[in-house]
Chain A
Amino acid sequence: NAGVMQNPRHLVRRRGQEARLRCSPMKGHSHVYWYRQLPEEGLKFMVYLQKENIIDESGMPKERFSAEFPKEGPSILRIQQVVRGDSAAYFCASSPPWDLWAPGGFFGPGTRLTVL
């Protein structure tokens, strides 16, 4: 059973470009969480999604950021018109619907975004 998969692992964008980060949850997991880690900081919650629904987006910046988790395929975190301050590591975590403990245990390896 593969773990949480994220790709790409490293992404370089120039200011003004779009960044698309993908997260494939573990098999059987229908809940996905995105976190952002700025340099020398802890992880900060961004958004919590279930299949086709955004449950909590209280940590998402109001502009340029969006997330989706379609019925089929990976969850996508999209950042439009990236700025240097978006440079960070973005982590995805997943859990099955019956185990609320699981968000504590199943993190992906992260995508490191660098904005030039």
Chain B
Amino acid sequence: AQTVTQSQPEMSVQEAETVTLSCTYDTSESDYYLFWYKQPPSRQMILVIRQEAYKQQNATENRFSVNFQKAAKSFSLKISDSQLGDAAMYFCAYRSPNPRDDKIIFGKGTRLHILP
């Protein structure tokens, strides 16, 4: 069974600085999808960035980028120029390409604090 592990329950970063959130996963599949979600206090789940495992190029969305290391099964999120609005829970997630196994598997999350 696939698992997703986030080893940092909480992190803090100074405003305007860069922070990296860690995520590792376990799977026997060769192709799959990975996601980072943001959950602010409103509890709305917001997709931040996604990566297809067959793509070697790391995904980037504005200030958010990932470091995808397929062999190491690592998928870290880098937030550049941190802003107060980035304060939230961040969840790493995995999804199989099998349409009959269509569920998303989430890590336990990392709570990110932004220090003014």
Contact = CB atoms under 8 A, between A and B. Distances in A.
Interface of A: 31, 33, 35, 40-45, 48, 55-56, 58-59, 89, 91, 93, 100-101, 103-105, 107, 109-110, 112
B102 A43 contact: no
A43 B104 contact: yes
Contacts of B104: 33, 35, 43, 45, 93, 103-104
A105 B50 CA distance: 9
A43 B35 contact: no
A112 B35 CA distance: 24
A56 B106 contact: no
A103 B103 CA distance: 8
Given A33-B102, A42-B4, A55-B100, 8 more contacts: A33-B103, A40-B108, A42-B91, A42-B93, A43-B106, A93-B104, A101-B33, A104-B33
A103 B93 CA distance: 11
A56 B50 contact: no
Interface of B: 4, 33, 35, 42-45, 47, 50, 91, 93, 95, 97, 99-109
Contacts of A31: 102
Given A33-B102, A100-B102, A104-B95, A112 B43 contact: yes
